[in-house]
Amino acid sequence: MPDKDAQTPRVFLIRHGETEWSKSGQYTGKADIPLTPHGEDQIKASGRIVYGNGKLIDPAKVAKVWVSPRKRAITTYQLLAGTREGYEVTECLAEWDYGDYEGIKTHEIQAKRHDRGLDKDRKWDIWRDGCEGGESPTQVAARIDELISQIRDLQGPLMKTSGQPKDVVLVAHGHLTRAFAKRWLGYDLSFPLSLMMEPGGVGILSYQHSSIDEPALLLGIGFPMQQ
């Protein structure tokens, strides 16, 4: 029988704080835009509430931290955790490569494609159509799946144990975090699952029935009692 105190592993998805381009709605992929002062404050506020001993994200329960290579994500983790150490940078969490759409807004992308004779019957949808000069949904899904495989290899053997760190923290971006959640649940990126992730937001993924083969979105969670 599993230990009744064993906790099912969780994956905490964290979006970086506000940048000037996230604030304006400009697509920010490879551009290394820093956090705004307000973005830094967002992360510090989130950290005070959810990160620390006995809190929702308890460092003593975290087995691994992966972070996007963009400095806005790295700064986010460093502000959240109060350390410049203890994380691994991975391209698997880099934001969608927007290619020709870098730095512009949705309506501008749609107009640009319309002028080129595209999308005559339906509006552009990044989840279905991808980005010219950038990544397709298939390419984004492939690198996410690579990281999901690593996470399940890590968490699988720890599933029904107690007293060992088993949670994972991921720090990434707006589109990437939502894409990650879809792939975690086994959906194609084109699947019409509407998800939102605010700057500085925290999402949680886990497993049903303490089974590595039953990944789930943790829709609601009971918060730890304050000590």
Catalytic residue among 20, 85, 88, 95: 95
10 is in an annotated binding site: no
Q: What is the DSSP string of 80-111?
A: HHT-S-S-EE-GGGSPP--GGGTT--HHHHHH
47 is in an annotated binding site: no
72 is in an annotated binding site: yes
| Pairing of the two strands 167-172 and 11-15 | parallel
d(CA 95, CA 171): 11
Residue 181 CB partners (closer than 8 Å, separation 6+): 13, 193, 195, 203, 205, 217
127 is in an annotated binding site: no
Q: Is 20 a residue of the active site?
A: no
Chain centre to alpha carbon of residue 223: 21
Catalytic residue among 16, 135, 173, 175: 16
95 is in an annotated binding site: yes
Q: Is 38 a residue of the active site?
A: no
96 is in an annotated binding site: yes
101 is in an annotated binding site: no
Task: Please tell me what DSSP assigns to residue 155.
Answer: H
Annotated binding site: 28-29, 72, 95-98
Annotated binding site for substrate: 28-29, 72, 95-98
Positions marked active-site: 16, 95
